Amino acid sequence: MSEHSILPPNSSLTERALEAAWATSGPDLEPVAQLMSPDTCPAPLLGWLAWALSVDVWDAGWSEDAKRQTIRDSIAVHREKGTKASVQRALRAAGYNDAEVIERFGWDFYDAAVNHDGSITHVEPDHWAQYRVRLTRPITIEQADQVRAILSMVAPVRCHLKALDFAEAQHLYNAAIQHDGQFTHGVA
C-alpha cells in the first residue's frame, strides 16, 4: 500500500489493485464534472442531479431554467435550512417570488409606535412557534398543497404554519364563474 492511499490498513489485495489501476490510468473526470454542474448537465438528467444534491422539492413540470436555479440554490438552502431566509429562498425557487413569511403575527403593542391605518388587525397573537405565509396573488388548491410540502421540508419542525394569506381574491361571488373545486373560498 502506498503512502498516498486512501484505503484502510485492512484493505484487501483486490481493493489495493483497483486503487493502483485507478492511479496509473488517470481517467478523464471532465464528463463527471459536467454531469454534476447545474449549468452543464443535460436537461433530461437534471432530476437525477437534483436527487444527488438532496433537492427537497422538485417538480418535473418546471421550466428548465427553474430546475437549474433550484439545483443551484440547493446548497444555500441546506446551509440555512430551518431559518426564515431558507423558507423564503425555497418558496422563491419554486416560483412563489411574492411569498412573505410572517413570524410573531399580532405581537404589536398599543404603544403609538405604529399608526393605525387599518392594515394591521389587532388579534390574539400567534404562538411563538407559529408562522404565516402571505402571497400577493391567489393560488390554486394544488399550488397550496405544493407550498405546504415545501414548508414541511424546509421550515423547522418545531414551527407550524398557521395560515396561507392572500392580498387579493381570485374570484368574486357574482355568478360570473362556476365553482369547480380548483380554488378555495379565500384561504388555502
Share of the chain above pLDDT 90, in %: 19
Domain count, the chain: 2
Three cell numbers, residue 132: 404565516
pLDDT, tens digit (0-9, with 9 covering 90-100), for 69-127: 999 988 877 887 778 888 888 888 888 888 888 777 665 556 666 666 666 666 666 76
Residue-level pLDDT at 50? 94
Are residue 91 and residue 173 in the same domain, yes or no?
yes
Burial of 171 (0-12, 13-18, 19+ CB in 10 A): middle
Asked if 82 and 156 touch (Cβ cutoff 8 Å), the reply is yes
Q: Is the pLDDT of residue 12 over 90?
A: yes
Separation CA 29–CA 90 (nearest Å): 31
Residue-level pLDDT at 52? 92
Are residue 187 and residue 103 in the same domain, yes or no?
yes
- Which range of residues forms the domain containing residue 187? 82-188
Residue 107 CB neighbour total at 10 angstroms: 9
